[in-house]
């Protein structure tokens, strides 16, 4: 099985981010494979200044070059784009086998990235190769991009910024059961509460930043409760456990204090906010600013610095009746199953295409239970094969 052979090679190359290394080596495996089938292959590097603008000084020194694969076949007519990402999250603890060695057992293929998203890369690449000679009256573009797990602005985001366009797209970075038409977006910010240090034996001379921060945490917890009633009109994948996409706010990290006998002069909290397609970044930012301003009005001693990370993955929704959605559903029906039309709670690179009004279906090879981002991640061998077939079928319909 071609998909398994290719996946075996890719899993063995560590493309975990952070830091993000070996991207070109992994992309070469796929590029060489497609070049043999008549694709014109190009490796597009993300310039240093773009990388620095996105990550600042956050990238470790041993991070590698940011590079993306663009492979094209056919010309004229309309263009279909197939995309998946080559980077993975680090393995983390708890693995019972080597995360960088593909291991088959009971119809499952284990290894970091098998579901998210090297499985997506190989399923698309194999379908593209099988179909390459049949691309007439149009163009097929295959891209494998980097840095999706850290926001995608240096991966697919960069290619789109640089002018990559198409008429329709598939992004294989989701569930095999779903034809994804929408996704939530992500916003990150920090609140640094500034107090005043003093000796703990005379604490009335200081301002306790941790105590002040606890009031901020409380207020953000209340905001999260309020958000939980703000439902999207987009149905969610039933496997996610909720009926509709919903926003959320998580106080994810807290750091403060100097020593046991010092009144803490600083305390920083890091917050993750998820936005539904009906929300936008500016409104969400204003909502948070308002919550904090209200606290400051009540407490003149509360001093803080609020910093938002630059936006990367944003929320989006494409029209449900887009032709590509219909074709994707139809291509599965021909195989014998019907995908659910729904939105995803997680962030995806599809947003960069949707922003340019390109109808994009988010699909993929993963399922709930495949331990995506966890220990012993796997993909069902059958899913890999079936998804690849469905994509091939879709191309038959698209280029008919």
Query: Looking at beta carbons only, is 73 or 351 nearer to Zn ion?
Result: 351
Residues near 5 by Cβ (< 8 Å), separated by ≥ 6? none
- Shortest gap between Cβ of 310 and Zn ion (angstroms)? 20
- Residue 15's H or E segment, with its range, is none
Secondary structure, 3-state, 91-104: CCCCCCCCCCCCEE
Q: How far apart, in whole angstroms, are the C-alpha atoms of residue 240 and residue 345?
A: 8
Does an H or E element contain 352, and which? helix 350-354
CA angle 368, 274, 184 (to 5 degrees): 60
Nearer to Zn ion, 102 or 207 (CB): 102
Least separation, in Å, of the C-beta of 348 and Zn ion?
A: 7
Nearer to Zn ion, 3 or 266 (CB): 3
Q: How far is the CB of 346 from Zn ion (least distance, A)?
A: 8
Please enumerate in sequence order all residues whose Cβ is within 8 A of that of 180, keeping only pairs 6 or more positions apart, or say none: 174, 342, 343, 344, 348, 350, 361, 362, 363
User: Quick one: which of 219, 243, 192 has its CA closest to 291?
Assistant: 219
Instruction: Count residues binding Zn ion (CB under 5 A).
Output: 3
Considering only the stretches 49-57, 115-123, 218-226, 308-316, report the one whose residues sit in contact with Zn ion under the rule CB under 5 A. 115-123
Minimum CB distance to Zn ion smaller for 325 or for 347: 347
Q: How far is the CB of 159 from Zn ion (least distance, A)?
A: 16
Contact criterion met (CB below 8 Å) for 273 and 291: no
Nearest distance in Å: CB 28, Zn ion: 21
By C-beta, is 85 or 273 nearer to Zn ion? 85
Locus of tokens 């080559």: 86
Q: What is the Cα–Cα distance from 93 to 336, expressed in whole angstroms?
A: 38
Say whether residue 117 binds Zn ion (CB under 5 A): yes
The reply to whether 116 sits near Zn ion by the rule CB under 5 A is yes
Nearer Cβ to Zn ion, position 119 or 235? Answer: 119
Q: Which part of the chain contacts Zn ion (CB under 5 A), choosing from 114-122, 184-192, 272-280, 332-340?
A: 114-122
- Residue 289: CB minimum distance to Zn ion, A: 31
C-alpha 233/C-alpha 246 separation (Å) is: 9
User: Which 139-178 residues touch Zn ion, going by CB under 5 A?
Assistant: 173
Judged by CB, which is closer to Zn ion: 15, or 388?
15
Stated as kind and residue range, the H or E segment containing 144 is strand 138-145
Closer to Zn ion by CB, 117 or 383: give it: 117
Q: How far, CA to CA in Å, does 238 sit from each of 113, 327, 340?
A: 23, 22, 9
Smaller CB distance to Zn ion: residue 79 or 88? 88
Q: In this structure, what token pair is assigned to residue 141?
A: 């573009």
Residue 237 within binding range of Zn ion, rule CB under 5 A: no
Task: Write down the least CB distance from residue 63 to Zn ion, Å.
Answer: 19
87 binds Zn ion (CB under 5 A): no
Task: Give the chain's radius of gyration (CA, Å).
Answer: 23
Nearest to 116 by CA among 2, 17, 219: 17
Residues 326-385 that bind Zn ion (CB under 5 A): none
- Least Cβ distance, residue 366 to Zn ion (angstroms): 8
Neighbours of 118 (CB within 10 A): 31
Distance in Å, CB of 92 to Zn ion, minimum: 15
Residues contributing to the site for Zn ion (CB under 5 A): 116-117, 173
């Amino acid at each position: 099985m071609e998909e398994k052979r290719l996946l075996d090679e890719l899993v063995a190359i560590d493309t975990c981010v952070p830091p993000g290394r070996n991207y070109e080596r992994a992309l070469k495996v796929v590029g060489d494979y497609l070049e043999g089938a008549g694709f014109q292959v190009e490796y597009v590097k993300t310039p240093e200044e773009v990388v620095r603008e996105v990550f600042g000084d956050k990238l470790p020194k041993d991070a590698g070059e940011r590079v993306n694969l663009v492979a094209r076949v056919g010309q004229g007519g309309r263009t279909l784009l197939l995309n998946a990402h080559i980077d993975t999250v680090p393995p983390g603890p708890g693995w019972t086998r080597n995360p960088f060695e593909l291991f088959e057992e009971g119809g499952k293929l284990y290894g970091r990235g098998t579901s998210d998203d090297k499985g997506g890369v190989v399923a698309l690449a194999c379908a593209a190769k099988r179909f390459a000679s049949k691309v007439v009256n149009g163009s097929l573009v295959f891209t494998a991009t980097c840095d999706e797990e850290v926001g995608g602005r240096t991966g697919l985001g960069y290619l789109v910024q640089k002018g990559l366009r198409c008429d329709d797209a598939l992004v294989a970075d989701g569930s095999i059961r779903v034809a994804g038409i929408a996704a939530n977006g992500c916003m990150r910010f920090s609140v640094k509460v500034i107090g005043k240090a003093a000796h703990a034996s005379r604490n009335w001379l200081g301002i306790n930043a941790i105590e002040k921060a606890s009031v901020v945490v409380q207020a953000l917890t209340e905001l999260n409760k309020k958000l939980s009633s703000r439902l999207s009109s987009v149905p969610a994948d039933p496997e996610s456990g909720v009926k509709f996409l919903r926003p959320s706010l998580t106080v994810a990290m807290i750091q403060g204090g100097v020593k046991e006998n010092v009144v803490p002069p600083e305390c920083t909290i890091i917050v993750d906010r998820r936005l539904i397609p009906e929300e936008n970044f500016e409104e969400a930012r204003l909502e948070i600013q308002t919550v904090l301003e209200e606290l400051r009005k009540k407490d003149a001693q509360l001093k803080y610095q609020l910093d938002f990370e630059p936006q990367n993955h944003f929320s989006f929704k494409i029209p449900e009746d887009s032709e590509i959605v219909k074709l994707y559903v139809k291509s599965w029906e021909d195989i014998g199953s019907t995908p659910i039309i729904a939105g995803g709670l997680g962030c995806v690179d599809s947003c960069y295409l949707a922003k340019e009004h390109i109808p994009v279906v988010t699909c993929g090879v993963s399922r709930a239970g495949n331990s995506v981002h966890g220990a012993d991640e796997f993909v069902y061998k059958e899913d890999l094969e079936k998804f690849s077939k469905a994509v091939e079928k879709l191309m038959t319909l698209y280029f008919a």
